[in-house]
Amino acid sequence: MYPLCMLPDDFHWHLDDRYGHHWLRRNRHEVALINRVSEGRWLMTVNRQRSDAKGHGYAATLAHAKRMVERWAAVNAERLRLEVLDDRLGAPPAIEPTLSREDLRAGRKAQH
């Protein structure tokens, strides 16, 4: 038996009945996903809040997969809280737009 891990209070599980996906959420933001890929094989995907989410692993049972994801969430809770802002705080700060190649070229030409 695997030791139980305390899931932080601001994280919770959500089951999508239509597809059988088990989402770990912080507020309304998904940070991890567990789904069944075959009989006796569950796929865990973490860092779902990032556009470059690449962390994943497999488990033999749903209970084992949940324990592993909960342990990951407990270890990474502070980072996840920073990456997924609390909905009560409002929208995340605006990100400065990056300049396109054309804008950069025009700026260099204007300097000469």
Average pLDDT of span 24-49? 90
pTM above 0.85, yes or no: no
Residue 42 tokens read as 């569950």
Query: Which is more confidently placed, 41 or 105?
Result: 41
pLDDT at 94: 43
Domain ranges for the chain, please list them: 11-111
Average pLDDT of span 26-52? 89
Average pLDDT of span 8-35? 90
Tell me the pLDDT of the chain averaged across its residues: 81
